[in-house]
Amino acid sequence: MRRKDRPCRIIFLCDVENLVLSMDEKPSPQDFSLIGGFNREIRAIAREIGEIVDVFMFLPPHYVYAYVEHFHDAGFFTIVCPKVKGKNGEEADTVDSTLMRFGESAINNIQGLTHLCLVSGDRDFTPLIRKAIRKGLKIIIIAGSKRSLSLGLLKLADKAIIFSPTE
């Protein structure tokens, strides 16, 4: 049984490419700040809900040069997910599968975790969200736009946020 006075502890799992490609708000290059947007959301969630245990950014190799230094400076963990050859010989993205495997391990092994924050509106993550709910976690979804937020995920979320990539 969960004690009401137990402090909230939140883990962030972010599908970077999904977030960037799904944003409706495309500010001018001088106003665009992915880190600024993350800092704002993390600050708001930490103040409103509780401690951010860690932030994990999952991204394909072609996003590394654009973001990895900024993520490192912000104290985020960067997990590069390579493209691999599928059975049909074509390259397959591994971000979703890596994030799901990592997320399942996190919800099973991080002591005192109370919330999972998924930064993606992709319905492919529904099984992970359902597992987190069965573990008693509350769910926060941050999506790039309303149109990119799966209705299925929205129904499972305790809180949904539309991301803005500005300071």
Q: Domains in the chain, start-ordered, CATH in brackets?
A: 9-54+93-162 (3.40.50.1010)
Secondary structure of residue 132 in the 3-state scheme: helix
Which range scores top for mean pLDDT: 31-40, 58-67, 95-104? 95-104
Query: What is the model's pTM?
Result: 0.91
Count the helix, strand and coil residues of the chain and give each as a percent rounded to the nearest 5: 40, 25, 35
DSSP-assigned states of every residue in 9-38:
EEEEEEEHHHHHHH-S----TTT--HHHHH
Question: How confident is the model over 10-24, as pLDDT tens digits?
Answer: 999 999 999 999 998
Mean pLDDT of the chain: 92
Cα separation values, 58 from 13, 32, 145, 156, Å? 7, 20, 19, 22
| Helix (DSSP H) and strand (DSSP E) numbers for the chain | 6, 8
